[in-house]
Chain A
Amino acid sequence: MADKRFALLQGNEACVEGAIAAGMRFYSGYPITPSTEIAENSAVRLPQVGGKFIQMEDEIGGIAAAIGASVAGVKAMTATSGPGFSLKQENIGYAAMAEIPLVVVDVQRSGPSTGLPTSPSQGDVMQTRWGTHGDHPIIVVSPSSVQETYNLTVRAFNLSEKYHTPVILMMDEIVGHLREGVELIPAEELEIVNREWWPERERARHPYRMEPGQLVPKMTPFGGGVGYNITGLSHDGEGFPTNSNEKTAELMNRLFDKINKNLDDIVTYEEQNLDDAEIAVVTFGGAARSVMGAIDKARSMGMKVGMFRPITVWPFPEEQVRALAKKVKHILVVEHNNGQLVLEVERLAGGNCPVSLLGRMDGSVIKPDEIVEKLKEVSK
């Protein structure tokens, strides 16, 4: 697979190829439908490139070992779905707090609980944002095609390395199991970001101590002879536990600032046919594929419809959706859940235009014709 430039792949397979191109050399996880192909392909591909794959005893071990590998300086990923994603939450918070680069893939399936293991859903929108306890920043990106899965997996690694944060690649069963042609752009043609660390030991001993204007720590891989501490407790600039409210505020504000002050770099989205649109459909991930079909059809029927698709779901493209609500007459949100992203859109629309939802939680795919019907309804 590696020597071919073009291939017919599932989204899950493209994710692994993208990860390897980005420099992933460690995968630890636990089998779970519909993400298992990511583990299987990692098991095949990683040793071929000198990397390591380990099937852990459970989902929690899967993310914990990946964080450990990242601490040792190796780009690491874990993948899961619904029930497993719930189990990973505590350590997502750990990686956010301790600022460890990590990619977590959630190939969403229908829930709650064991739900419909092989059926599509997009019910984890809010869990990707708020699944772990406590205030924390997070980056979540969501692909709509196999090609985008490849490219976005690379981007997920780059963002995690650049901002020292867990990045969640929020896929869904639709894209994970979809087979499409994909260009496996080789690493040397991609922008690859690698974490930085202080060259001098004395400075490296305090990786969380910030220089003026610095927002992201520089952490030497373990074994580098530095001798510093990492903890999930609230910590000071030296990386040691503190009970100080002031130091905690400083840490928490910086964790948010490093994301919020770089929205131009982090937030990406796609706009289609919005120039003359009277109705905007906001959607993401696999649902966007039905929306694209629906828009073609609606346009052929003379309706002025366009699509706004957050590729970075969190932080949500707030500014863009605010502006959109002032421009169009109606926003329709299409998502495979009972209304999660729509809450964000409603908040940002702020009454400037009506917002409707076409949701679904029975495990079936929302079809283009259903979207066209809904578009007719809201345009009345």
Chain B
Amino acid sequence: MPSELVYQYFRQAKLPHIWCPGCGHGILMKDVVTAVDNLGLDRGKVCIVSGIGCSSRAAGYMDFDTIHTTHGRAIAFATGIKLANPELTVIVITGDGDASAIGGNHLIHACRRNIDLTVVVFNNNIYGMTGGQYSPTTPTGDFGTTAPYGNIDNSFDLPDLARSAGATYTGRGTAFHVPQTIKLIENGIKNKGLSLIDCMSVCPTYYGRKNKKGSAVDMMKWQRDNAVDYKKAQTMTEEELKGKLIIGEMYHKEMPEYTAEYQKLIERVGGAK
């Protein structure tokens, strides 16, 4: 029987979703609503903003105010929504290509401003919607339809990138590690500032097939067997961490938040009514 949350937070008429069998995105989408439910947020004040790609179809299924925007621009749209009405909880659902390739500029600048958005990246290491091209998170050496001889690009570590750019909460979850991922999203929403949760999905259809990773179950087992908690990873050598996936909370620091600072500015110049 489906979880109560499915009836409560999803648009029944829009299900089943369009994702491929075995895709990890459905699990991650439910993690997001579970986090919202656990926090007891007023759903009428929650907005979901997505870009373009597999990840971004999530917005259409989730029963909140939802906006499916243009490729790479979800964070910029979300910036406008949040600054216009800081009372809203604004959650961005984006993909690895959407967030860090075409949308990379918006990502780093939203981090720099520390605006109160929760960016949840459904990271499947590939462009799925267009059929399996390599993305900024495709590991070096892996294959995609546009990396037929192996990818020679280096890949982004998204939490690392976000932290360097000024994000105040970062972490990584996976489709397999459901309770941990929900907790990370909850903490990300609670953080008054830019939070980025890199959620490792599984894409058996394109990334998995191109790279001989086996079935969806095999890919989830790989996540289970190779995940290392961030704290533990600090005690391990580079050699020991080879081929491992570091997960968990990575960074949290309280810093002035953009919309709150802007409100102070309004008060300072006498614009508050």
- Smallest distance from the beta carbon of B87 to chain A beta carbons, Å? 7
Instruction: Map CB proximity to B onto A230-247 as digits: 1 under 8 Å, 0 otherwise.
Output: 111100000011000000
Q: Which stretch, B42-50, B118-126, B176-184, touches the partner chain A? A: B42-50
B158 at the interface (CB under 8 A from A): no
A269 at the interface (CB under 8 A from B): no
B69 and A227 within 8 A (CB): no
- Smallest distance from the beta carbon of A72 to chain B beta carbons, Å? 4
A57 with B68, Cβ < 8 A, contacts A50-B266, A223-B47, A231-B60 known: no
Query: In the assembled complex, which residues on chain B have CB atoms less than 8 Å from the CB atom of A221?
Result: 85
Q: Which residue of A lies closest to B64 (CB)?
A: A227
Give Cα distance in the complex from A50 to B70, angstroms.
29
A47 at the interface (CB under 8 A from B): yes
B23 at the interface (CB under 8 A from A): no
B241 at the interface (CB under 8 A from A): no
A68 with B81, Cβ < 8 A, contacts A50-B266, A61-B106 known: yes
A68 and B77 within 8 A (CB): yes
Query: In the assembled complex, which residues on chain A have CB atoms less than 8 Å from the CB atom of B66?
Result: 227-230
B76 and A231 within 8 A (CB): no
- Smallest distance from the beta carbon of A158 to chain B beta carbons, Å? 20
Q: Which residue of A lies closest to B83 (CB)?
A: A52
Give Cα distance in the complex from A225 to B46, angstroms.
9
Query: In the assembled complex, which residues on chain B have CB atoms less than 8 Å from the CB atom of A223?
Result: 44-45, 47, 65, 85, 87-88
Query: In the assembled complex, which residues on chain B have CB atoms less than 8 Å from the CB atom of A68?
Result: 49, 67, 76-82, 84
Give Cα distance in the complex from A76 to B49, angstroms.
18
Set A49, A69, A227, A230: member contacting B44, Cβ < 8 A? A227
Give Cα distance in the complex from A58 to B107, angstroms.
12
Instruction: Map CB proximity to A onto B187-221 as digits: 1 under 8 Å, 0 otherwise.
Output: 00000000000000000000000000000000000
A56 and B109 within 8 A (CB): yes
B271 and A49 within 8 A (CB): yes
B60 and A57 within 8 A (CB): no
Query: In the assembled complex, which residues on chain A have CB atoms less than 8 Å from the CB atom of B105?
Result: 57-58, 61
Query: In the assembled complex, which residues on chain A have CB atoms less than 8 Å from the CB atom of B269?
Result: 47-48
A229 and B87 within 8 A (CB): no
Of B45, B47, B49, B271, most A-chain CB atoms within 10 Å: B271
A228 and B65 within 8 A (CB): yes
Set A52, A56, A227: member contacting B43, Cβ < 8 A? A227
Q: Which residue of B lies closest to A52 (CB)?
A: B83
Give Cα distance in the complex from A48 to B272, angstroms.
8
Query: In the assembled complex, which residues on chain B have CB atoms less than 8 Å from the CB atom of A231?
Result: 59-60, 67-68
Query: In the assembled complex, which residues on chain B have CB atoms less than 8 Å from the CB atom of A25?
Result: 84
Number of A residues with CB within 8 Å of any CB on chain B: 46
A64 and B77 within 8 A (CB): yes
A229 and B70 within 8 A (CB): no
Q: Which residue of A lies closest to B80 (CB)?
A: A68
Give Cα distance in the complex from A222 to B82, angstroms.
10
B73 and A69 within 8 A (CB): no
A48 and B270 within 8 A (CB): yes
A71 at the interface (CB under 8 A from B): yes
Query: In the assembled complex, which residues on chain A have CB atoms less than 8 Å from the CB atom of B129?
Result: none
A91 at the interface (CB under 8 A from B): yes
Set B43, B81, B109, B273: member contacting A222, Cβ < 8 A? B81
- Smallest distance from the beta carbon of A229 to chain B beta carbons, Å? 5
A182 at the interface (CB under 8 A from B): no
Instruction: Map CB proximity to A onto B76-104 as digits: 1 under 8 Å, 0 otherwise.
Output: 11111111110110000000000000000
Q: Which residue of A lies closest to B18 (CB)?
A: A241
Instruction: Map CB proximity to A onto B51-73 as digits: 1 under 8 Å, 0 otherwise.
Output: 00000000110011111111011
Give Cα distance in the complex from A41 to B80, angstroms.
19
Give Cα distance in the complex from A221 to B81, angstroms.
10
Q: Which residue of B lies closest to A100 (CB)?
A: B67
A229 and B67 within 8 A (CB): yes
A171 at the interface (CB under 8 A from B): no
Give Cα distance in the complex from A224 to B73, angstroms.
23
Tell me the chain B residues, 237-272 only, with Cβ under 8 Å from chain A.
Answer: 262, 265-266, 269-272
Tell me the chain B residues, 132-184 only, with Cβ under 8 Å from chain A.
Answer: none
Give Cα distance in the complex from A233 to B45, angstroms.
24
Set B60, B82, B106: member contacting A229, Cβ < 8 A? B60
Query: In the assembled complex, which residues on chain B have CB atoms less than 8 Å from the CB atom of A308?
Result: none
A73 at the interface (CB under 8 A from B): yes
Query: In the assembled complex, which residues on chain A have CB atoms less than 8 Å from the CB atom of B272?
Result: 50
Of B45, B78, B80, B108, most A-chain CB atoms within 10 Å: B80
- Smallest distance from the beta carbon of A201 to chain B beta carbons, Å? 9
A61 and B79 within 8 A (CB): yes
Give Cα distance in the complex from A66 to B80, angstroms.
6
Query: In the assembled complex, which residues on chain A have CB atoms less than 8 Å from the CB atom of B49?
Result: 68
Give Cα distance in the complex from A74 to B259, angstroms.
15
Give Cα distance in the complex from A64 to B43, angstroms.
24
- Smallest distance from the beta carbon of B81 to chain A beta carbons, Å? 4
B232 at the interface (CB under 8 A from A): no
Set A52, A61, A240: member contacting B73, Cβ < 8 A? A61
Query: In the assembled complex, which residues on chain B have CB atoms less than 8 Å from the CB atom of A61?
Result: 73, 76, 79, 105-106, 109
Query: In the assembled complex, which residues on chain A have CB atoms less than 8 Å from the CB atom of B84?
Result: 25-26, 52, 68-70, 72-74, 76
Q: Which residue of A lies closest to B74 (CB)?
A: A64
B70 and A94 within 8 A (CB): yes
A28 at the interface (CB under 8 A from B): yes
Query: In the assembled complex, which residues on chain A have CB atoms less than 8 Å from the CB atom of B60?
Result: 229, 231, 240-241
- Smallest distance from the beta carbon of A202 to chain B beta carbons, Å? 14
Pairs A–B under 8 Å by Cβ, sample size 6 = A26-B83, A49-B271, A52-B83, A72-B80, A227-B43, A240-B14
- Please give 5 more A-B residue pairs, beta carbons under 8 A apart, in addition to A76-B84, A224-B44, A225-B45: A64-B79, A94-B69, A224-B65, A228-B66, A240-B60
* Residues of B bordering A, CB below 8 Å: 11, 14, 43-45, 47, 49, 59-60, 63-70, 72-73, 76-85, 87-88, 105-106, 108-109, 262, 265-266, 269-273
* Residues of A bordering B, CB below 8 Å: 25-26, 28, 46-52, 54, 56-58, 60-61, 64-74, 76, 90-91, 94, 221-233, 240-241
